[in-house]
Amino acid sequence: MSTLNLLCLPYSGASAMVYSRWRRKLPAWVQLRPVELPGRGARMGEPLQTDMRALARQLAGEQRLAASTPYALLGHSLGALLAFELAHELQALGCPAPQALFACGTAAPTRREDYDGNDWREPKTDTQLIAELRELNGTPEEVLASAELMALTLPILRADFLLCGRYAYRQRPPLTCPLHVLGGDADRASEEQLLAWRRETRGAFSLHRFPGDHFFIHEHEDHVLTTLVGALEGYRLSA
């Protein structure tokens, strides 16, 4: 395996700056490929999606070519659920299984009780969304105080919450790829909720815990990237 596409599903808090740093720190054989969703960035003119299954199907069609060569999927928070659904949809299209699926910062699909039970199925108000951002501790106060930035951010965040809140787990045969779960010690997802990801694959499974809250992926960026590369290195060498 000369190179590997690392398809990164977006999350609230991800930015071009984050991915630019990651590209500088990752080895050359890992090709970082952020997946842009409808309604964001260059796709701003497209409607925001609030149906996880429909979104995963759309992305699978768009990413089919990238998945025809060795690839891995990575998602944090909402992105982890979307990466999981995307893996199943790519499989349904006959694509090879990913070299690995990295699910970061969220409970397993069967253990969403602390998420869906918080009335996430209905649109949240601006005030509620800003309160959630403060609780997650990943957005600077100067950003929260900017009406201009919030006007751009809140519609996307509202759609993200609806994607999570309306998510319905579907029983399917487990994936075959290795599944690596990363979580913060002080994040909302408990160890039991993280370990429940194990049942979603017949491949290898690992759980890595990091100090910090929901955005441990930023606080311990170097450690997180070292964990990713360490997991992928074995697949590269074996290939």
Could you give the residue numbers annotated as active site?
77
Say whether 104 sits in a helix, a strand or coil: strand
Computed over its alpha carbons, how large is the radius of gyration of the chain?
17
- Could you tell me the CA-to-CA distances from 61 to 42, 65, 198 in Å, in that order? 18, 8, 27
Residues 39-67: b if buried by 16+ CB within 10 A, e if exposed: eeeeeeeeebbbebeebbbbbbeebeeeb
What is the distance between the alpha carbons of residues 179 and 191, in angstroms, rounded to a whole number? Answer: 15
Q: What sign results for the dihedral spanned by CA atoms 47, 48, 51, 55? A: positive
Asked if 237 and 4 touch (Cβ cutoff 8 Å), the reply is no
Facing residues of 74 across strands? Answer: 8, 102
